[in-house]
Structure 1
Amino acid sequence: MQQAQFYPIGTPGIKWTSKEVQQWRESRRIQRSYQQEVVLKMEQIGDDFECIQYGELEYESGSYPLFGFKSKSWDEHKPCVLITGGVHGYETSGVQGALLFLKETAPAYLVHFNLLVAPCVSPWGYEIINRWNPDAIDPNRSFVKNSPAPESALVMKFVQDLAVDIFAHIDLHETTDSDEQEFRPALAARDGKEYVAGTIPDGFYTVGDTENPCAQMQTAIIESVQKVTHIAPADPDGTIIGSPVVQHGVINYPLQALGLCAGFSKAKYTTTTEVYPDSAKATPQQCNRAQVAAITGMLDYLKAL
């Protein structure tokens, strides 16, 4: 496969310094409104949930309050399910799918579960439409002790301060064409590495935990989502984004070792969703509905245990 051109920031083969990070940050532009597209929609969420501001990010472009939603009818005898969206702010359906679930579908599950939802972990990334935060740090590699990303640190503290055991955790993501057009080339440039072009899977898939794959739950999620949108086939070598396909539409990553969001909660059941919004066969609304279907597929599986 042909090599991409060099990323326009930095010197090939040399890691970025603070100078290149600043140059990258100054090249970013606000493209949409977190306040209009996310915060205002939170006002449509019903009285079954308590809205909690768990922090605020202060960046050059402005202040970004961070919000989570917690079941009002909290019952310590019910299992707690954590739903996170917008860890990569540019992955739109993760945010909008979480909000849609809260507005339309979540109340029906409160008889079975305590629900905890953080719809938009990275609001700067949402506005800029970017994977990183302003310091060119990937929040979804930063769910570690002494996290370098405040987005990750604040949502971890929010969950930990509640002092509840998380039974299941679903983290809502997308894989987009821009991953190859922008974000992976930028990553290679930042780290002083050679960029080798990859492929983007055409369809939905999930990422389980290598150490705790929850295979039957992944199957239930895939079966639920395929009623809404198509599932990504494996590449000819039997992989998706370079990882072996362990069942239709499912790969595994070592979630905790990589500092991924779905690993920090140490839940018994974990998964990361990956929706493909650039498909000619999927609309934005379908992508949002696919995230809801993934959540309900998981919850329906868990309540039947």
Structure 2
Amino acid sequence: MDLIVDAIDDKTSCREYDKVIQRLDRRWEIEKVNEQPYDAEDWKDNNDTAVCYDMKSLMMSFGTVTIREKPGAGGPQVLIFFNAKHKSYQLPKGRRNLHEDPADAALRETLEETGVEVEPLYLGFDTRIVLDHPETAIEDVGFVRQNENGTVTAVNRDVLYAMSYDDKKTGAHRHIYFYAAQPALGDGEPDAALLSGEDRTNKVHWFGFEEARRKLTMRAEREAVIAAQILYRRTRDNKEWWDLSKELLEKWKKNNAARRVLTGQPLARAVASDPGKAAILAEAIKKIVPDGGVEAAALALDYLKRLGAAHGNGLA
């Protein structure tokens, strides 16, 4: 394969793991603005450290650390791929489409670059998300507690790790945000037919956490895997959190079933060419659309029929 960067050694692997866990567990303290207002020196510091971009040079990408537990695999595995063009191992990620939700973009890019359809993996961790209505937040993000230091501990599907760097080759200022995900179907084996055109040469792999970390070319992506590894273990070990994770995923599935089909996902385009598969998907939509979502289900089914007609499958 002629890798650009060789796998890291044991010492580097341990050092990176320790660095991430210290970052995740460090004590976080902030001053309350209403008690300690900003003064002139504070504003000077903010101005001196501010970095500004125009939207031609700023490139924001969204990807996933996708995790599965497959019987006989010896433990959790991470989805990565070998990019033949750049000769590097990478996490799936890419830019969002116009008006696309960043979290949806992360799931879509994972499908297009690996051929694996994925869904959110809700994990418990500290975050700076804002709870507009803390008393009802359990329905939205799996609220656990609001901390005095301005953070929230929640079981949620928000960004778990972020990275940025200046790409000197393209001149782009890259900002990349990673979400946790899991296979949506079966064991998550890749389907080459679902890869986008430019990604058909990707070689997709499921590796254990340690092997995935060693192979990834970008240090920041290795750190994203470490963060996901730690948070996944902590969430799995906490029964309350894990039960809540599964509950929130079920709500997400019901709320997004029809909408995801209507957005023209590659999966829908693929099954529309096969009347048998299309009929199965149509029946599945009827079952998983939440109560009261009959109109949305009808729209989704109509979309599939039109799509099927374009492929000549005669779906009734």
Place the TM-score, normalised by the shorter chain, in its bin: under 0.3
State the TM-score, normalizing by the size of structure 1. Answer: 0.25
Larger Rg: 2
